[in-house]
Structure formats: C-alpha cells, structure tokens
Amino acid sequence: MKIKKGIPLIDQHDKNYLYGGKFGGNFIPETLKKPIDDLTILFKKLRKDKKFLKERDYHFKNYVGAPTPFIKLENLTKHLGGAKIYAKVVSEANGGAHKIYNATVHCLIARRAGLREIVGDTRRRLCRENAFYGS
C-alpha cells in the first residue's frame, strides 16, 4: 500500500473501505452491513465534532488517566542511526492497556447513536448507560 501525503491514514481506503489493494480488505456478514454503514456515517461526523472530542478528552483525563507518558527508545534510536523513536506507555492507563481508550470511545459513540449498551471483542458488556454515565 502506498501511503499518500496530506491524507490521514484512516482515510486511505477505496470506495469499499478496503485497505492494501488487491490483498487487503475485510469481510462482514450481510446482516451487519447496514449497522456498519450507519456507524461509518456517524463516525465521519463525530471525528470532527468539537463537542464530541471535548467529551472524549474529558473521559480520557478523568476515567482513563490520560495523558499517559511517552518514553524514548534509546537502543532503537541508536540502531536506526539517530531517528528519535518514542513509545506511548498505555499500560499506565486505568485497566493497564490500550483497550480502555477503545472501549471509552465506543461507549461515547453508542451514546450519540442512542444505543444503551455495546459488546466488546471479549463478549463482555463494556458499558451500560447508567453505569458509564452515572445517571
């Protein structure tokens, strides 16, 4: 896949949302096509919505523990000839992993879509409106 300058990586797909040309892509069951299309439309709106981003940042700061620090990878920096390489230490977020960021945003999107709960890849309920929002 050739990366295009000036276009965010998340937007570098073809009309069918496939990445990587003839060897990339994804498959979803036909019954999920409409919900995923609806989610795609909502996501396109929310990713530039200042109110939504402010709410996301609030939850990241107050529930996730963001921002988490960056550390310089000295050995890799030296090995690559001086390019400054850093890694984000997401293990310091509440829950100890990057999944808390994903789950938080999924819950916020679900709330905007009028959904009351979501199920994560572990098949556990990640949020319920009353638990997540304290109402």
What's the pLDDT band for 130 if we cut at 50, 70, 90?
very low
At 109-118, the pLDDT tens digits run: 999 999 887 7
Position 6 pLDDT exceeds 70: yes
Element (H, E) at 117: strand 117-119
Residue 95 has pLDDT above 60, yes or no: yes
Residue type, 105: V
pTM of the complete model: 0.66
pLDDT in tens, 33-80: 888 888 889 999 999 999 999 999 999 999 998 888 999 999 999 998
Sequential DSSP letters for 67-86:
PPPEEE-HHHHHHTTS---E
Burial class (CB in 10 A: 0-12, 13-18, 19+), 73: middle
Residue 86: name the closest of 98, 102, 75 by CA: 75
